[in-house]
Chains A and B, each alone.
Chain A
Amino acid sequence: MLRSKTFIETYREDLSLFRTIWIKFWMAILLMSVLLFPFMVGRYTLYMINLTGIYIIGAIGLNILTGYTGQISIGHAAFIAIGSYTTTILGARTGLPFYAIIPLSGVIATLIGVLVGLPCLRLRGLYLAMATMSFGLIVQYVLFQWEGLTHGALGMPAPAIRFLGFNVDSDRKFYFLIAVIVFLLGFAAKNLMRMKIGRAFVAIRDRDIAADVIGVDLTRYKVMAFGISSFYAGVAGSLFAYYTTHVNPEYFTIFLSVEYLAMIIVGGLGSILGSILGALFIGVVPEWLRIFFGFLNNTFHLGGLVFTQQLKAITYGVFIVLFLIFESGGLFAIWQRMRTSFKSWPFTY
């Protein structure tokens, strides 16, 4: 598969996301399999994949903030919560259709993200992590206490989605909705990161004082990073609310934020594909584990309580540790290596 005859002849070709015919071919195959997927698998699998799709959106958001811009945030769950609750509150109080509510949830989350980003401008590293963590806890507290708005611990139901006269209520229909949004937001993020904004973000991550010196407006771009990241989180939260049909403040804990951090670390910091791989990993591996351990349990009649949830948690803790020690680029780096060796086959030296 050695690439030949890849001559770039115009600037347009140089800038395009998919350069060669090969890549376009594989993207088409991917598109086809994504379209056919829901008809090939059972409902339960589809449920897990849909949740993973939502994770992907959130993970891309966090990667923009933490992977590209280097701002550690342990408060991501708070923005997802804001997205979810905006959806349930707007759904309960207004008659807005879903294609208005989802972006609105993102926008409200963005506004709050900017409000948080501003005072956090001077914070670095661990202190920023602490501040975002506190913010996350405070948001959870408000969700529990402001009963007039959020029904507190009772949680709130999400509205149903009606589109062109039919209800989007089955796993399959949700799959297409989520897939469309994942594609849109994923491409948007990829392109955004290739533009001036993306380069500014990376500059801030690598050496923010130096970036400031060469003219990158730290305030503007740091706040932007918080804003964009929160937008993605808000949309993910909105979809989450629609899909699980009922939100409760108990779900949006620090652990959820840590789970997202795990996704982007395992997937690869600073890469959109990395976010996708990481989210897939964290979303799907637990199910494989469950099946694997269930299979062991039945074959060997182990009886008693099999600690599948625990082993799942331990496994992804172990993976985080292993990835950090051995492959700090995450799954993305592994994928890159595979691709390069594939590309230069049979000349693997």
Chain B
Amino acid sequence: MSGELNYFLQLVVSGVAVGSVYAVIGTGFVVIYKATKILNFAHGEILMVAAYFCVLLIDTLHLHFLFAFVLTLAFCAVLGLVVERFIMRPMIGEPIFAVVMITLGLSIILRPLTGMVFGFGNVMFPSPFLQKPIVFSNLVVSHAHLWTFIISCVVMGIFFLFFKHSKVGIAMRAAADRQMVAFLMGINVKKIFSLSWAIAAATAGIAGVLLANVMVMNLNLSFVAVKVFPAIILGGLDSIVGALIGGLMIGVFETLVGGYLDLYLSGIKEISPYILLFIILIIRPYGLFGTEEIERV
């Protein structure tokens, strides 16, 4: 394989790898949005807490990774339930702006709180994955990344089927669309909301642990969620499949820009997803695949 082609393909592979991380995080955002029409600005903080919690279990209690992972998911689900019950429940019926601001408020609280409880320094996640990368016809990908990709596809598949076919999933979509009508149709909206937050938080847990495996862990982990916004807008805020596609596209886009343009326009890699986002929003105000909102006056 020629050097140039190899370089290009390697960038694409790395882009897909990092994109799957974005996709897993993005799925959490989309789940909440699909079920409650809220964009949860505290998602990044929840995944960060999950990562720290998992490290705590492994390092201090010396639990095996899988066991710690499952416990972390359970912890996240409980955290999601608590958040929903005490912070989101009182906001049912309030305008969306207020609800989104409350998630912002929650993120402001969670970050320093995590620092106070877990410390402010850098932490290396005790990774269960093999360190030696897989090499396939000159293309390299690490185990952690490969697993992230597989897991994100699996998660996407599960949620897609869930929302499309299962009773609970359809009930969630109904509650998001028309809360009042859902109440009238006999859907227990309170329980649905609790469930959606628990599930979304658990998804954040998966994302957090996977993310911690591929980068150095510290309080700045929560900012990766900000990088995912372009991905979910691209894919459409209410599309599960869109989260995966959007995440992968942003990952590949960013890595290609980095590999080809960084040498000339320093730092363009970091900002490229946002430039792309801004341009897309100007052309298509509801993102690439989002459903346009029809408002009655």
B91 within 8 A of A: yes
A321 within 8 A of B: yes
Contact string, A294-317, partner B, CB cutoff 8 A, digits 1/0?
A: 000000000000010111011011
Of A24-32, A39-47, A135-143, A215-223, the stretch lying at the interface with chain B is A135-143
With a CB–CB cut-off of 8 A, which chain B residues contact A325? 87, 90-91, 102
* Given the contacts A141-B270, A310-B116, A325-B87, A317 and B237 also touching, CB distance less than 8 Å: no
Residue from the list B87, B105, B113, B237 in contact with A310, Cβ < 8 A: B113
Contact string, A194-236, partner B, CB cutoff 8 A, digits 1/0?
A: 0000000000000101100100000000000000000000000
What's the Cα separation between A261 and B91 when bound, in Å? Answer: 18
Which residue from chain B places its CB closest to the CB of A318 in the assembled complex?
B109
User: Which residues 113-141 in B have Cβ within 8 Å of A in the complex?
Assistant: 113, 115-116
Residue from the list A124, A129, A141, A320 in contact with B108, Cβ < 8 A: A320
With a CB–CB cut-off of 8 A, which chain B residues contact A317? 105-110
What's the Cα separation between A209 and B294 when bound, in Å? Answer: 11
Contact A307 B104 (CB under 8 A): no
With a CB–CB cut-off of 8 A, which chain B residues contact A321? 87, 102, 105-106, 109
What's the Cα separation between A141 and B254 when bound, in Å? Answer: 15
What's the Cα separation between A262 and B41 when bound, in Å? Answer: 14
With a CB–CB cut-off of 8 A, which chain A residues contact B226? 133, 254
Residue from the list B96, B105, B230, B265 in contact with A320, Cβ < 8 A: B105
* Given the contacts A124-B293, A324-B105, A131 and B278 also touching, CB distance less than 8 Å: yes
A134 within 8 A of B: yes
Contact string, B244-271, partner A, CB cutoff 8 A, digits 1/0?
A: 0000000000000000000001110011
Contact A310 B102 (CB under 8 A): no
What's the Cα separation between A127 and B233 when bound, in Å? Answer: 8
With a CB–CB cut-off of 8 A, which chain B residues contact A127? 233, 281, 285-287
A346 within 8 A of B: no
With a CB–CB cut-off of 8 A, which chain A residues contact B109? 313-314, 317-318, 321
* Given the contacts A138-B271, A314-B113, A325-B87, A258 and B278 also touching, CB distance less than 8 Å: no
A191 within 8 A of B: no
With a CB–CB cut-off of 8 A, which chain B residues contact A125? 96-97
B101 within 8 A of A: yes
With a CB–CB cut-off of 8 A, which chain A residues contact B96? 125-126
Contact B98 A316 (CB under 8 A): no
What's the Cα separation between A209 and B295 when bound, in Å? Answer: 9
CB distance from A118 to the nearest CB of B (A): 9
Scoring B108, B112, B237, B297 by chain A CB atoms within 10 A of each residue's CB, the highest score goes to B108
What's the Cα separation between A70 and B95 when bound, in Å? Answer: 11
Query: Interface range on chain B: under 10, 10 to 19, 20 to 34, or 35 or more?
Result: 35 or more
B71 within 8 A of A: no
What's the Cα separation between A80 and B111 when bound, in Å? Answer: 25
Contact string, B203-214, partner A, CB cutoff 8 A, digits 1/0?
A: 000000000000
B100 within 8 A of A: yes
Contact string, B139-170, partner A, CB cutoff 8 A, digits 1/0?
A: 00000000000000000000000000000000
A145 within 8 A of B: yes
Tell me what chain B mostly uses at the interface: helix, strand, loop, or mixed. helix
CB distance from B26 to the nearest CB of A (A): 13
Residue from the list A122, A135, A311 in contact with B285, Cβ < 8 A: A122
A265 within 8 A of B: yes
What's the Cα separation between A318 and B265 when bound, in Å? Answer: 41
A144 within 8 A of B: yes
Contact string, A98-132, partner B, CB cutoff 8 A, digits 1/0?
A: 00000000000000000000011011111101110
A72 within 8 A of B: yes
B229 within 8 A of A: yes
What's the Cα separation between A126 and B206 when bound, in Å? Answer: 25
With a CB–CB cut-off of 8 A, which chain B residues contact A135? 278
Residue from the list B105, B274, B287, B297 in contact with A138, Cβ < 8 A: B274
B94 within 8 A of A: yes
CB distance from A259 to the nearest CB of B (A): 9
CB distance from B66 to the nearest CB of A (A): 33
With a CB–CB cut-off of 8 A, which chain A residues contact B46? none
For the complex with contacts A138-B278, A325-B87, 7 further pairs of A-B residues with Cβ separation under 8 Å are A126-B96, A130-B277, A131-B281, A134-B274, A318-B109, A320-B104, A324-B101
**A contact residues vs B (CB 8 Å cutoff):** 70, 72, 119-120, 122-127, 129-131, 133-135, 137-138, 141, 144-145, 207, 209-210, 213, 254, 258, 261-262, 265, 307, 309-311, 313-314, 316-318, 320-321, 324-325, 328
**B contact residues vs A (CB 8 Å cutoff):** 39, 87, 90-91, 94, 96-98, 100-102, 104-113, 115-116, 226, 229-230, 233, 237, 265-267, 270-271, 274-275, 277-278, 281-282, 285-287, 293, 295, 297
Closest CB pairs A-B (n = 9): A317-B108, A317-B109, A320-B105, A310-B112, A134-B274, A119-B282, A321-B105, A141-B271, A134-B278
